[in-house]
Amino acid sequence: MEPFDSPEEAHFRAEARAWLEANAPRPPAPPIAPSAIVAEWTPAEEVQMLAEARAWQKLKFDAGWAGIAWPTAYGGRGASIVEHNIFSAEEAHFDVPHDALVVGLGWCGPAILLLGNEEQRQRLLPPLLSGSDVWCQLFSEPGSGSDLVSLSTRAVRDGDEWVISGQKVWTTFAHLSDLGLCIARTDPDLPPHRGLSAFVVDMRSPGVETRQIRQMTGSANFNEVFLNEVRVPDSNRIGEVGDGWRVVITTFMFERTAVLSVGATVADAFTALLAARPTNGSQRDRFLRVIVAGKALGYTQLRMDTALAQGRMPGPEGSVAKLVGTLLLADLYDQALDVLGADGLLADGDAPYGGEWQDAFLGTPGLRIGGGTDQIQRNIIAERILGLPKDSR
């Protein structure tokens, strides 16, 4: 995969840009926190952003611009990973509210596409791709965050159904979701990685309770989710019984690379901030180091895209992308507050730019936890890339 467009790809880029120009406005300025992973919305903003995201997704779906690399049988365009990236890069330059659906479209959907059976793909993917269904990810638990394999949520088979009981936490948008991709332990006697299974849970089922978690920014995007003998049909089991860890790793792979689609527009916003505020040479040099590192990281993205285009799952390079990408993004927001100086201590309407730089700075630590903490990514890099001895378990 090359870092430039072929003639066919250039034609696709022009077509995508023309459609976006005709259907979406340009933002008045580069977005500061363009991702739901970073942005911290109030409850009212959540409802508004979700409604706008579903409307935009439906518009793309009807026009054939949703699921660029997904097969047409499931509502996609049937194009390549490269064309998917081209459309995403072009879309990032427009003021469109698509990111409230990132968990389903970006993480859960691809896992269903790769690991679900044909009936599940036909049933679950078109309403996800059209914006009709909102998804959440029921992975982390109070005692099993970074060490997810130790999770305690249980699923017990009862005929053609499974009865799931347990507690999940840090579940983004669970209170607004229709469906959740849940990992539960189906066999406590097997080794931890082999005793897990994956299920799609209807979030409106009896026994599902969500409680929002208020964060230091004042928002409550995360949730605790309590599962009290929730019944799930076996037809909603993704993959084989005991093969849930593969679903986890697949989902994490897409989650870990999501940050790469965020950094470019944040860099544009920071460039505008530098031009508008008095700065010194040290601040400008620090920003240039981030830009150079970001360009180098782009080649890791190309390697991952090449693997996907060849039908392979990317390997541990996803951990490199996640670790370096989140550290660079956190550094950018830290630099922004440095450039703002005393104004960086203000908030909301009293702060320049409506306090968006401050909100992003406070929201970024969550990005360094989701999809596996920095420490988990370093362990993966050490063991699987550098060949160092495994961490003690």
Nearest to 151 by CA among 202, 195, 116: 195
Domain match, 238 and 258 both? no
Which of 133, 154, 184 corresponds to the end of one domain? Answer: 133
Highest mean pLDDT among 1-5, 107-111, 197-201, 365-369: 197-201
Segment 302-328 mean pLDDT: 76
pLDDT at 232 over 70: yes
Amino acid at 20: L
Environment class of 386 (CB within 10 Å of its CB; exposed 0-12, middle 13-18, buried 19+): exposed
User: For residue 72, what is the domain's CATH number?
Assistant: 1.10.540.10
How many other C-beta atoms lie within 10 A of the C-beta of residue 347?
14
In a domain, 151, yes or no: yes
In a domain, 207, yes or no: yes
Percent of the chain with pLDDT over 90: 44
Find the range with the poorest average confidence among 39-43, 103-107, 250-254, 357-361.
39-43
Domain match, 261 and 232 both? no
Find the range with the poorest average confidence among 63-77, 271-285, 332-346.
271-285
Segment 364-382 mean pLDDT: 81
Q: Are 255 and 105 in contact (CB under 8 A)?
A: no
Domain match, 229 and 325 both? no
Domain match, 308 and 238 both? no
Q: Any idea how long the chain is?
A: 393
Which of 208, 243, 278 corresponds to the end of one domain? Answer: 243
Q: Active-site residue 317, yes or no? A: no
Domain match, 288 and 309 both? yes
Going from the C-alpha of 78 to that of each of 64, 82, 308, 351, 357, the distances in angstroms are 10, 12, 14, 45, 38
Domain match, 11 and 127 both? yes
pLDDT at 264 over 80: no
Who contacts 28 (Cβ-Cβ below 8 Å, separation ≥6)? Answer: 95
In a domain, 171, yes or no: yes
In a domain, 325, yes or no: yes
In a domain, 235, yes or no: yes
Model confidence at 58, pLDDT cuts 50, 70, 90, reads: very high
Segment 254-274 mean pLDDT: 73
- Sign (positive/negative) of CA torsion 307, 91, 255, 133? negative
Interval 73-123: pLDDT, tens: 999 999 988 898 889 889 988 988 867 898 999 889 999 999 999 999 999
Which pLDDT value is given to residue 16? Answer: 97
pLDDT at 2 over 60: no
pLDDT at 37 over 60: no
Highest mean pLDDT among 63-77, 78-92, 137-151, 377-391: 63-77
pLDDT at 242 over 90: yes
Which pLDDT value is given to residue 295? Answer: 79
Average of per-residue pLDDT values in the chain: 87
User: Domain tally for the chain?
Assistant: 3
Q: How far apart are CA 187 and CA 182, in angstroms?
A: 15
In a domain, 2, yes or no: no
Domain match, 266 and 353 both? yes
User: For residue 214, what is the domain's CATH number?
Assistant: 2.40.110.10
Nearest to 248 by CA among 154, 371, 368, 116: 371
Nearest to 279 by CA among 341, 225, 342, 367: 341
Which pLDDT value is given to residue 235? Answer: 97
User: For residue 335, what is the domain's CATH number?
Assistant: 1.20.140.10
Name the CA dihedral angle for 199, 41, 85, 18, rounded to a multiple of 10 degrees: 130
Domain match, 12 and 61 both? yes
- Supply the range of the domain harboring residue 104: 7-133
pLDDT at 69 over 80: yes
In a domain, 322, yes or no: yes
Name the CA dihedral angle for 113, 115, 121, 126, rounded to a multiple of 10 degrees: -30
Which pLDDT value is given to residue 271? Answer: 86
Domain match, 31 and 87 both? yes
Which of 113, 133, 153 corresponds to the end of one domain? Answer: 133
Domain match, 56 and 76 both? yes
62 vs 305 pLDDT, higher one: 62
pLDDT at 257 over 80: no
In a domain, 203, yes or no: yes
Select which of 141, 255, 317, 356 is catalytic: 255
Domain match, 208 and 252 both? no
Segment 266-284 mean pLDDT: 85
Domain match, 157 and 116 both? no
Model confidence at 224, pLDDT cuts 50, 70, 90, reads: very high
Q: How far apart are CA 104 and CA 50, in angstroms?
A: 13
Segment 241-266 mean pLDDT: 77
